[in-house]
Amino acid sequence: MLEFPTWNKVWLWVVTLLCVAAALPSLFNVANLPWPRFLPDPEINLGLDLAGGSHILLEADESQVEQQRLENMEESVRGRLRLAEPRIRIGDISSANGRLSFMLKDPSQVDAARDEILPLTTGAGLTGQRDWDIRVEDGSRFVLTPTREGLDQAVSNAMDSAIEVVRKRIDALGTREPTIIRQGENRIVVQVPGLDDPQALKSLLGQTAKLEFKLVDESATPSDVAQGIAPPGDEIVPWADPSSPGAGGVPVIAVKRLGGIKGDQLTNAKQSFDQQNNSPVVSITFDQTGGAKFAKLTSENINKRLAIILDGKVLSAPSINEPILGGSAQISGSFSVQSATQLAISLRSGALPVDLTVVEERTVGPDLGADSIRKGLIAMGIGSLLVVLLMMLTYGRFGVYATIALVFNVLMILGIMAVMGTTLTLPGIAGFVLTIGAAVDANVLIYERMREERKKGRRVIAAVENGYKEASRAIYDANITNFIAGVLLFAFGSGPVRGFAVVLIIGLFTSVFTGVMLTRMWVANWLRKARPTELNV
């Protein structure tokens, strides 16, 4: 017990002081004191319930995923059969009733067509089912039907992609520690602490940012288009602003449904100004593949109009006067500087694979969070005071050691949370209060074991050594059990539950470190110097 190597003391104090130093910036911030700029400043991020902010629940439209799959499959089928050797000719493809069907012009090519189409289907996860069912009816008609397993996997993939896009957009706003989690099959919960403008967040997340470039069908009759009648192979798209010069007062326009370019191959998008009229615009840059496609499209369609479509609405339809070979373009419309900036952020982050609708919104004011912090600190202070008084009155000198260890325990939790960049929530403060009570459990077990050893007639040093040795087994067993519970809470919980679990898990390690290791070092130092003949514990 008395032999405590120097290296052991050094690493215990180094770990302790480093964690305490990491907690200082957060303490300075709470006390509204300036922290030196030249020093590192890891701080604990406050959760939505403490810092205030915005809570938004987004819901995805599953039917849109199904429609997108139909369109993608139709384009893929056309491309595969057109490039087949020999070419496989088909009639018009119908997408009625949520399935694709087409007729082969040469029934003898049924097997060849199946061989070309089959690679376009894949297995749906681990279900053993394919994502598309292929049937041949009447000897020459192909019918492609999406399976339930394939649709479920597509929705799941779309939601995973949507979460990443949402995260990129929120990070572009400069906010810290947003909580973005999936809820159920088609919902996403977004919590952004400290956000001053929740309306801007709603506008940013509600925008799909699906950018498309499609050729305008100049042969379409304006009267038919106005009535919603489109020529074969066309689709009717509304203007975002019917009063714009390009719209000519007509609310809709006919564009070619296939053969355009999607904006998923952008490398950059930024807000800028038109050099002619100084109006806000969005400048975009394609990657190498997208730039080559854009150059080919503009080269082959000189003097034709190209519609720039964002989220199903035409922003503008300028005429292609010359090939655009630089891989860059400019999106104009009725933009303000703010709306152009938001669109640029959305395009840089990528298009949402599915529309997200705000179905629930809550805003938490900072005053409520400040009140929660104040009450939490009061509860922590009262709890700490009662624990300190109980330990000192009951165990004397050893109670003082337990109290000092408790202070270090709280500071170490704060420091570790700051370094890890974790978020402190209101349940996390409850976890702190719980940790204060639980942190001294180890010392109580050790000190009570010392008393028992002294009653058995053991000498002071032997009683202390056996007290730490025997009690440590129960301490480790109890903390391992709590650690498993904390991990399960973190793995399967969400939001506030995770906030509680984080403090609980960190507190388990720090309480053992301070309550067992640090106090053992202090007690050993006292025994070596004082050589007491009696143990007042």
Most confidently predicted of 194-203, 348-357, 417-426: 417-426
> Lowest-pLDDT range, 357-371, 485-499, 500-514?
357-371
CB neighbours of residue 363 within 10 Å: 13
Tell which residue, 436, 416, 434, has the closest CA to residue 486: 434
**Quick one: pLDDT band at residue 188, thresholds 50, 70, 90?**
confident
How far is residue 70 CA from its own chain's centroid? 29
Secondary structure of residue 338 in the 3-state scheme: helix
Please report the pLDDT score of residue 388 as a whole number. 85
Please report the pLDDT score of residue 247 as a whole number. 56
Secondary structure of residue 152 in the 3-state scheme: helix
Q: What is the pLDDT of residues 84-112, one digit of tens each?
A: 888 888 888 888 888 889 898 888 888 88
How far, in Å, are 217, 277, 499, 502 from residue 274 at the CA level?
27, 6, 48, 50
Please report the pLDDT score of residue 368 as a whole number. 58
Please report the pLDDT score of residue 92 as a whole number. 81
Q: What is the pLDDT of residues 168-182, one digit of tens each?
A: 777 665 555 677 888
> Lowest-pLDDT range, 318-332, 391-405, 481-495?
318-332
409-431 mean pLDDT: 84
297-322 mean pLDDT: 78
257-264 mean pLDDT: 72
Please report the pLDDT score of residue 401 as a whole number. 92
> Lowest-pLDDT range, 38-47, 320-329, 445-454, 482-491?
320-329
Q: Per-residue pLDDT for 512 more than 80?
A: yes
Q: Report the interhelical angle of 426-439 vs 441-455 (nearest 10°).
A: 10
> Lowest-pLDDT range, 64-73, 370-379, 481-490, 519-528?
370-379
By the 8 A CB rule, do 215 and 256 touch? Answer: yes
Give the residue, 80 or 1, on which the prediction is more confident: 80
**Quick one: pLDDT band at residue 408, thresholds 50, 70, 90?**
very high
118-141 mean pLDDT: 80
Please report the pLDDT score of residue 416 as a whole number. 92
Please report the pLDDT score of residue 194 as a whole number. 66
124-142 mean pLDDT: 80
Residue 473 makes CB contacts below 8 A (sequence gap 6+) with none
CA distance linking residue 427 with residue 344, whole number of Å:
37
Please report the pLDDT score of residue 249 as a whole number. 62
Q: Per-residue pLDDT for 15 more than 80?
A: yes
Please report the pLDDT score of residue 245 as a whole number. 57
**Quick one: pLDDT band at residue 484, thresholds 50, 70, 90?**
very high
**Quick one: pLDDT band at residue 65, thresholds 50, 70, 90?**
confident
How far is residue 502 CA from its own chain's centroid? 18
Residue 153 makes CB contacts below 8 A (sequence gap 6+) with 124, 125, 131
Tell which residue, 345, 349, 348, has the closest CA to residue 165: 349
Please report the pLDDT score of residue 204 as a whole number. 67
Please report the pLDDT score of residue 489 as a whole number. 87
Residue type at position 466: N
Residue type at position 426: L
Please report the pLDDT score of residue 441 as a whole number. 84
Please report the pLDDT score of residue 518 as a whole number. 92
**Quick one: pLDDT band at residue 381, thresholds 50, 70, 90?**
confident
For the chain, give the mean pLDDT.
80
Q: Per-residue pLDDT for 16 more than 90?
A: yes
By the 8 A CB rule, do 190 and 179 touch? Answer: yes
Please report the pLDDT score of residue 319 as a whole number. 77
Helix H or strand E segment including 51: helix 48-51
> Lowest-pLDDT range, 9-13, 177-181, 480-484, 514-518?
177-181
Q: Per-residue pLDDT for 488 more than 80?
A: yes
Please report the pLDDT score of residue 412 as a whole number. 93
> Lowest-pLDDT range, 145-159, 244-258, 379-393, 521-535?
244-258
Residue 32: left if φ>0, alpha if ψ -120 to 50, beta else—which one?
Answer: left
Most confidently predicted of 38-47, 95-104, 242-251, 486-495: 95-104
Residue type at position 193: P
441-458 mean pLDDT: 88
How far is residue 262 CA from its own chain's centroid? 25
By the 8 A CB rule, do 527 and 465 touch? Answer: no
User: Residue 269 burial by CB count (10 A; 0-12/13-18/19+): exposed, middle or buried?
Assistant: buried
Secondary structure of residue 217 in the 3-state scheme: coil
Please report the pLDDT score of residue 333 as a whole number. 65
Please report the pLDDT score of residue 196 as a whole number. 59
479-502 mean pLDDT: 83
What percent of the chain is modeled with pLDDT above 90?
8
Report if pTM > 0.75.
Answer: no
**Quick one: pLDDT band at residue 404, thresholds 50, 70, 90?**
very high
53-59 mean pLDDT: 81
CA distance linking residue 489 with residue 511, whole number of Å:
19
Give the residue, 415 or 237, on which the prediction is more confident: 415
Residue 408 makes CB contacts below 8 A (sequence gap 6+) with 16, 20, 514, 518
Tokens read off for 415: 């420091």
Please report the pLDDT score of residue 42 as a whole number. 79
